[in-house]
Amino acid sequence: MRVLWLQSGGCGGCTQSMLCSEPRPLFDELRDAGIEFVWHPALSLASGADALTILEDCAEGRLAFDVLCVEGAALKGPNGTGKFHLMAGSGEPMTKWLERLSRQAKWVFAVGSCTSFGGLSANTPGNPLEACGLQYDTDTPGGLLGADFRTGSGLPVVNIAGCPIHPGWLVDTLEKLAHEGLEASDLDAYGRPLLYADQLVHHGCPRNEYYEFKASAKKHSDLGCLMENLGCKGTQAHADCSQRAWNGVGSCLRGGYACIACTEPGFEAPGHAFQTTPKLAGIPIGLPADMPKAWFVALAALSKSATPKRVRENAEADHTLVRPALKKAGK
């Protein structure tokens, strides 16, 4: 399976993350799965005229490839011309290259939230870059290719959203495609692969005991739940970050950073500072995705009244102050 990769309007962070793929070296893993790069702007030897020849041959159907991976938002400005971002050496807007190559691809992967939904590239007043995703503008279908676009396989754009992506999300999706194929039923309503988007960041969160008792952190170094005061959106974000460790050991929540829901459309403009929790009458506005407000309020009140001393005191400390009690066998 041959992969062509283009870098559009973004920081390149998803490529950097991809290179940290584990447990095996990235290229060994891909090679053994029968996956190879036709060209990648940061990893391939071909550059300049040689690179443009490869891209032109792919766009004209002379050089076969299967998957087009695009990293970074499509920049349609100014006034829809795409001239804010030209392909180096070609004089042509990157948007034109993306459209031409997408028509030749059997599958198109939007790698990262910028390519999926516009992301941080679109988060400027008025969006003068006219940045958007390949098939979405935030959560509205459309984007660069249009809501009705389908690849040669009949699928819409596969949105591997994240800022940046976990390397496993991309590698697993490529390997699933290579070995089993990819169907519409493998994607959620936003085109994200269910292999990572069928659960919430909250699932498996190391702070779940604090969440259950509504024992909340007050500052970032505290051990408690980050939702009530520090802006955590793990109960709303579709991803397996808490169960699929980054670099084998970590996650945002394990590091003391609140989840900002970077896999969701529009995460970049929440309307408030990322590390704060907007409230109405003392109740967080951003409640868990599938819990009615009345239930949450009732359960929160009950949970707080039953909070063990250990949990309550540890929640506002940067290390464990009170250890779990010892219980004799048979008691």
Residues 86 and 94: beta-carbon distance below 8 Å:
yes
Tens digit of pLDDT for each residue in 281-322?
A: 777 877 777 777 777 777 777 888 889 999 999 999 999 999
pLDDT category of residue 250 using cuts at 50, 70 and 90: confident
Q: List the domains of the chain with CATH numbers.
A: 2-195 (3.40.50.700), 199-322 (4.10.480.10)
**How many beta carbons lie within 10 A of that of residue 308, not counting itself?**
14
pLDDT of residue 286: 73
Rounded-to-10 torsion of CA 56, 58, 60, 64: 150
pLDDT of residue 331: 63
Residues 198 and 188: beta-carbon distance below 8 Å:
yes
Residues 208 and 298: beta-carbon distance below 8 Å:
no
pLDDT of residue 195 exceeding 90, the answer is yes
Tens digit of pLDDT for each residue in 255-284?
A: 899 999 999 999 999 999 999 998 887 778
Tokens 């962070």 found at = 13
pLDDT of residue 36 exceeding 70, the answer is yes
- Distances in whole angstroms, Cα of residue 252 to Cα of each of 159, 210, 256: 21, 16, 6
Tens digit of pLDDT for each residue in 131-179?
A: 999 999 999 999 999 999 999 999 999 999 999 999 999 999 999 999 9
Mean of pLDDT values over 46-65? 97
pLDDT of residue 49 exceeding 80, the answer is yes
- Distances in whole angstroms, Cα of residue 69 to Cα of each of 5, 8, 40, 111, 216: 5, 10, 9, 6, 40
Tens digit of pLDDT for each residue in 73-113?
A: 999 999 999 999 999 999 999 999 999 999 999 999 999 99
- Full-model pTM: 0.93
Rounded distance, CA 285 to CA 279, Å? 5
Mean of pLDDT values over 169-191? 97
**Which residues are CB-neighbours of 171 under 8 A, at least 6 positions away?**
18, 21, 26, 29, 30
pLDDT of residue 2: 98
Residues 125 and 97: beta-carbon distance below 8 Å:
no
- Distances in whole angstroms, Cα of residue 155 to Cα of each of 49, 189, 266: 32, 13, 23
Extract the runs of DSSP E, i.e. beta strands, from 128-191: 131-132, 136-137, 140-141, 158-160
Residues 150 and 103: beta-carbon distance below 8 Å:
no
pLDDT of residue 189 exceeding 90, the answer is yes
pLDDT of residue 328: 76
Tokens coding 207:
């702070």
pLDDT of residue 299: 78
The DSSP 8-state label assigned to residue 75 in this structure reads E
Distance spanning both ends of the chain, measured CA to CA: 60
Residues 57 and 4: beta-carbon distance below 8 Å:
no
